[in-house]
């Protein structure tokens, strides 16, 4: 999860969308945390 957080902070828009989509499919609670980091709402 820590690696996803780094990638979210430093990634391109496409990478961020991909990571968020994957994490949303696997673990909603973790996806919410990543959305907080990015400043977006969970889809």
Question: pLDDT confidence of 41, banded at 50, 70, 90?
Answer: confident
Stretch 28-35: mean pLDDT? 93
DSSP 27: -
* H or E, element range at 11: none
- pLDDT band at 43, cuts 50/70/90? low
Terminal alpha carbon distance of the chain: 19
- List the domain boundaries for the chain: 2-38
What integer is the mean pLDDT of 19-36?
94
């Amino acid at each position: 999860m820590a690696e996803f957080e780094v990638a979210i902070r430093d990634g391109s828009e496409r990478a961020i969308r991909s990571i968020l989509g994957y994490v949303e499919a696997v673990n909603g609670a973790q996806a919410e945390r990543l959305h907080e980091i990015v400043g977006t709402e969970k889809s």
